[in-house]
Structure 1
Amino acid sequence: MGAVLALCTAGQLACCCGSAACSLCCSACPSCKSSTSTRIMYGVILILGTIVACITLSPGLQETLANVPFCSNSTRILPKEITIDCSAAVGYLAVYRICFAMCCFFALMAVIMVGVKSGKDPRAGIQNGFWGIKILIIIAAAVGAFFIPEGSFAPTWMWFGMIGGFLFILVQLVLLVDFAHSWAEDWVARYEETESRAWYCGLFTATILCYALAVTGFTLLFVFFTHADGCGLNKFFLSFNLILCFAVSVVSILPAVQERQPRSGLLQASVVSLYVTYLTWSALSNQPDRSCNPRLGEILAPGQNNKTSGTNFDAESIVGLLIWMGAVLYSSIRTASNHSKLAMSEHVLVKDNGASDSGHEPIVGDDGEDTESGGHRVWNNEEDGVAYNWSFFHSIFVLATLYVMMTLTNWFSPNSSLETLNSNIASVWVKMISSWLCIALYSWTLVAPIALPDRDFD
């Protein structure tokens, strides 16, 4: 599957370089749906923008810019009158500006695609093509963003990032619960069909592994993020979340729940508990009280002077980026059946549509009919209706961009001089409330069939 998606995306990328390159690449690619390849392409654009933002945080980039002739802090090879301040191209402000440009692009696409019902809409070409032009627009917007005066830009945009990042965490929660249920139901169904002990052992092993990681995580958090004489808030968060994880695990195996949902069990609860453990660690990592928030370097090498900077990558940021990338890719390729997990409507963030992948598949040409000679192997499956809500999809990517912006800057807030970042107590509460909402959301999926017996939750 990964190879097929990569080849489909390669076909779309080739279209950025011209029709000849597109035809050559697409003729060698397997057939895939235009809705899938388009979503993957937008995901690639978002990930590429994230990589560029990560590069601006590289510790050695500032020293490298000192060797660039047109930089004002260089060796002054060029006259001072024609040099620029390259220091603005690095650091957390550069991340803010790059993410601002990507947010503007996805917000513009969301507005343009409002009300699109099928692939026959004139705006379909904008959604599914012109990739080279779109990339140039993002680059131009990013360059323009660097000319925004500092002033109150950073503190104001930080609050936009805080709110948007919180909303995307909620999206992650929905995707996580959907993933947990889909995973468990699929493996339970395979075990019931084949009665193979391999599937049973897989379910048991995965459940034990998730719970072991969660318990280990909470234990380490109690050891390193609390001490006997203080850190009362940390102790409360850890104790409360641990109790919630235990309670939701018990609820998942209650006879009433099992009667309504026979395939519900501890695997879903263990996945949710593990994610709550991560959110708890992420929240405590933003605790302003340094006595209750040891850095990873201090844990691994106690007693040494570990200098930290708000823009340094730490373990929490790396894990957050990996989870974010998984959520973006999952939301880009996930196929749901007939109801929305996110929008509560027929148009899902991603929904299957069109003909089956097997048998003869239409090849996208100028008229949408089959072609033989060098035809595009990305076929249009949205002529009768869109496979996902295009405007909603771009809105989710706006939130994803804000989330990655806050993750790269460790959810810190700029200080008064706008030169460094400080720990932010607001981000602690944002992530902690997110963990409680995660438990509440999963609990609702368990008790909803009991509370609303007349409604079909299949």
Structure 2
Amino acid sequence: MGLVCSTAQLACLCGSTACSFCCSQCPSCRNSTSTRIMYALLLLLGTIAACITLSPGLQDVLKKVPFCKTSSNSYVPSDVTLDCESAVGYLAVYRICFILSLYFFLMSVMMIRVKSSQDPRAPIQNGFWAIKYLLIIGGIIGAFFIPEKSFGSTWMYFGMLGGFLFIIIQLILIVDFAHSWADAWVGNYEETESKGWYAALLGASFFNYAVSITGVVLLYVYYTHESTCALNKFFISFNLILCVITSIISILPVVQEHHPRSGLLQSSVVTLYVVYLTWSGISNSPDEYCNPGFLGIFSGNNIQLETKNRVTFDKESIIGLIIWFSCVLYSSLRTASKSSKITMSENVLVQDNGAVDGRNHDAEGGNEAKVWDNEEEKVAYNWSFFHLMFALATLYVMMTLTNWYKPNSSLDTLNANTASMWVKIISSWMCLALYVWSLIAPAVFPNRDFA
């Protein structure tokens, strides 16, 4: 429903007639939902534009962009051999995401302390879509005139910091999703006592653990060697041990007493995500002997050396983007669950309060249904924090699309970065710590209401 109503809002870009027609055709929809989906679509369109710049067929065309011409192939220190022929796609992604993240940061500042839709700033949040799109398009065009010099190397540090912060938000959303999934299925089983729901719980848990174990085995096979790759062996083994300990904690009696719906389903989801983060981390390792690359796994050879001088968009990036956009949609559509109080996601998700569950007075009495304001008394989510999250999400996309590439590095490390490796590995540890906290928090603070 929210997507349909957002399409109606998008039609408002074409004029009032198109807007009125589409709104008359769609069902009743909360303004808080349709607005967030519109921003998600805006972020998706920007991501698609950034992906297009990485297309091999456009590399020759992109070499003619202003920042590439004015750089004269010397926009980085003279002792570095990197030039526009090898990194123009990545630098174009930097400029597109620079404008998108700047837009969301400005919106975040503008929406600080907005309490309801009666605030004068509310129309800026929920409307003026044509102006917003034109400003962003104009900003992206202007960004291509920014001289390179130190822009890429400086913006990369902002991207790495923002990407790391978004990974933390992503962890919170994934843990909240795991709890919500288990709460829903366990609740259905308790209500119906159906063996089908019980089998679904066991089957989903078994499948997630099976995929996780398979992933760990593959990491040992392809990313380690008998006498070398000690760091990779440590990361894989240590994270495996932590996942086992976490799974045991989830079924301890003391945890079950305070969190009766805790179980192996949540643990299996978190374990699967930690295995992905481990793979993502060691695949950014600059040690070429211990990092065969995704294609090298299937060819049996280390082909990273053959592709090191080319801008690439590998499978790890694709999986990362799928997880990223799933989290963005989840935060845009999901009403805050009880577990959000523990996982701190109540600022991201819509609050389940009276303001959200109000009635569409315009649709009463047979009037036409439309997108309606459900935030007249209180905002359904923190507008400023929402835009901050999207700004960080844009920076995460930028770093993912560019393989966490460092502009002032040499060509042989175009698709590898030690800093990004540690960002992913530390994130995996934080994911497990956050999940364990969500389990033990009710037991540690029994006097606090987590319900």
Quote the residue 2:307 is aligned against.
Answer: 308
Quote the residue 1:361 is aligned against.
Answer: 360
Structure 1 residue 62: deviation in Å? Answer: 2.4
Quote the residue 1:23 is aligned against.
Answer: 20
Query: Which residue identity does 1:394 align to in structure 2?
Result: H
Matching of residue 414 in structure 1 with residue 407 in structure 2:
yes
Structure 1 residue 126: deviation in Å? Answer: 0.6
Matching of residue 128 in structure 1 with residue 121 in structure 2:
no
Count of aligned pairs: 433
Equivalent of 1:234 in 232, 235, 243: 232
Matching of residue 450 in structure 1 with residue 443 in structure 2:
yes
Q: Partners in 2 of 1:330 and 1:385 — Cα distance?
A: 22
Q: Partners in 1 of 2:426 and 2:409 — Cα distance?
A: 27
Structure 1 residue 419: deviation in Å? Answer: 11
Quote the residue 2:176 is aligned against.
Answer: 178
Q: Partners in 2 of 1:318 and 1:345 — Cα distance?
A: 25
Would you say the 8 A contact 1:341–1:348 is kept in 2? no
Would you say the 8 A contact 1:311–1:410 is kept in 2? no
Q: Partners in 2 of 1:370 and 1:126 — Cα distance?
A: 30
Structure 1 residue 332: deviation in Å? Answer: 0.7
Change (3 A) 1:60 1:169: same
Quote the residue 1:6 is aligned against.
Answer: 3
Structure 1 residue 349: deviation in Å? Answer: 3.9
Quote the residue 1:405 is aligned against.
Answer: 398
For residues 33-432 of structure 1, the aligned pairs below 5 Å read 33-63=30-60, 90-303=88-301, 307-309=306-308, 311-336=311-336, 341=341, 349-354=349-354, 361-363=360-362, 372=367, 375=368, 377-416=370-409, 421-432=414-425
Query: Which residue identity does 1:409 align to in structure 2?
Result: T
Identity %: 63
Question: Which deviates further from its counterpart, 111-120 or 347-356?
Answer: 347-356
Structure 1 residue 421: deviation in Å? Answer: 2.4
Would you say the 8 A contact 2:173–2:345 is kept in 1? no
Would you say the 8 A contact 1:363–1:380 is kept in 2? no
Q: Partners in 2 of 1:439 and 1:430 — Cα distance?
A: 15
Cα deviations by residue, 1:366-400 (Å, 9 ceiling, x for unpaired): xxx9883xx56101000011111111100000100
Structure 1 residue 304: deviation in Å? Answer: 8.2
Taking structure 1 as the reference length, the TM-score comes to 0.88
Structure 1 segments unaligned to the other structure (5+ residues): 73-85
Change (3 A) 1:245 1:139: same
Q: Partners in 1 of 2:207 and 2:340 — Cα distance?
A: 30
Q: Partners in 2 of 1:305 and 1:343 — Cα distance?
A: 41
Q: Partners in 2 of 1:328 and 1:154 — Cα distance?
A: 26
Cα deviations by residue, 1:5-33 (Å, 9 ceiling, x for unpaired): 32111101001111000001110011110
Question: Which deviates further from its counterpart, 54-63 or 161-170?
Answer: 54-63
Q: Partners in 1 of 2:338 and 2:258 — Cα distance?
A: 20
Query: Which residue identity does 1:335 align to in structure 2?
Result: T
Query: Which residue identity does 2:41 align to in structure 1?
Result: V
Query: Which residue identity does 1:428 align to in structure 2?
Result: M
Structure 1 residue 348: deviation in Å? Answer: 5.0
Cα deviations by residue, 1:321-373 (Å, 9 ceiling, x for unpaired): 00000010001111015795599597554223556779x62339xxxx9883x
Q: Partners in 1 of 2:302 and 2:113 — Cα distance?
A: 59
Would you say the 8 A contact 2:50–2:93 is kept in 1? yes
3-state DSSP of counterpart to 2:173 = helix
Change (3 A) 1:419 1:63: farther
Question: Which deviates further from its counterpart, 114-123 or 272-281?
Answer: 114-123
Question: Which deviates further from its counterpart, 240-249 or 331-340?
Answer: 331-340
Q: Partners in 1 of 2:351 and 2:108 — Cα distance?
A: 18
CA RMSD of aligned residues (A): 2.7
Would you say the 8 A contact 2:336–2:346 is kept in 1? no
Change (3 A) 1:430 1:452: same
Query: Which residue identity does 1:118 align to in structure 2?
Result: S
Change (3 A) 1:270 1:100: same
Q: Partners in 2 of 1:170 and 1:428 — Cα distance?
A: 15
Change (3 A) 1:313 1:276: same
Structure 1 residue 55: deviation in Å? Answer: 0.1
Query: Which residue identity does 1:208 align to in structure 2?
Result: F
Would you say the 8 A contact 1:334–1:351 is kept in 2? no
Question: Which deviates further from its counterpart, 442-451 or 52-61?
Answer: 442-451
Q: Partners in 2 of 1:228 and 1:418 — Cα distance?
A: 29
Structure 2 segments unaligned to the other structure (5+ residues): 70-83
Q: Partners in 2 of 1:161 and 1:149 — Cα distance?
A: 18
Change (3 A) 1:187 1:12: same
Q: Partners in 2 of 1:416 and 1:278 — Cα distance?
A: 26
Change (3 A) 1:129 1:452: same
Query: Which residue identity does 1:405 align to in structure 2?
Result: M
Query: Which residue identity does 2:423 align to in structure 1?
Result: V
Q: Partners in 1 of 2:396 and 2:59 — Cα distance?
A: 25
Q: Partners in 2 of 1:273 and 1:267 — Cα distance?
A: 10
